[in-house]
Amino acid sequence: MSLLADLDAFYTDHRRCGEPGRRRRWAGGLVRLHVRRADRSPRDHRGHAVNPAALKSILALVATSTLFAGAAMLYQRRGTTGSALQLLGVACFVVVALAHAFEALAILPVLGWGQSNSIGHYIDLGAAVLGVTLVSAGLCFHYIHRVPRNDSGAR
């Protein structure tokens, strides 16, 4: 028997997960997978339950914050109306990501995050619409007022 077959036999026959009747299996002999029931919530490395909505909203907040930093650098370099509109639009996207993080983590529940006809819903909706409008307007300004490139290579 090969080493791979020995490892596969060891993990499928001798080691059990935390649930009776569930076994660890090898996917191609390289990665050990933990088979769980579908009704269990995701767990972190310590076994604590992870809120998937909170994880998604925090990842969205990280992404929009990175986008905001890029838009701020663009505004600092160019200082044009288009880059200012893009910066304000991306700031609105950060507000949308914050609203989703507040909803998932139950921060300021009095605002009614995620409920229709609440102030939290209108903050989220208004910021999203304003963000799309401002970023689009900023891109249009940048396109209209761009400096034509010299094809000869000299500047």
What pLDDT shows up at residue 137?
A: 94
Centroid of chain to Cα 66: 11
Contact 79, 138 (CB under 8 A): no
Going by the DSSP 8-state scheme, the letter that residue 148 receives in this structure is P
Which residue did the predictor score with more confidence, 109 or 23? 109
Task: Determine which helix (DSSP H) or strand (DSSP E) holds 78, and give its type and residue range.
Answer: helix 52-78
What pLDDT shows up at residue 35?
A: 44
What's the longest Cα–Cα distance across the chain? 73
Task: Determine which helix (DSSP H) or strand (DSSP E) holds 33, and give its type and residue range.
Answer: strand 31-33
What pLDDT shows up at residue 32?
A: 44
Centroid of chain to Cα 110: 25
Question: What amino acid occupies position 44?
Answer: D
Question: What amino acid occupies position 43?
Answer: R
pTM above 0.85, yes or no: no
pLDDT tens digits, one per residue of 78-125? 888 999 999 999 999 999 999 999 988 888 888 888 788 888 889 999
What pLDDT shows up at residue 42?
A: 58
Q: How far apart are CA 82 and CA 30, in angstroms?
A: 51
pLDDT tens digits, one per residue of 42-84? 565 566 667 788 888 899 999 999 999 999 999 999 888 999 9
Q: How far apart are CA 142 and CA 83, in angstroms?
A: 7
* Residue spans per domain, the chain: 3-33, 52-144
What pLDDT shows up at residue 83?
A: 92
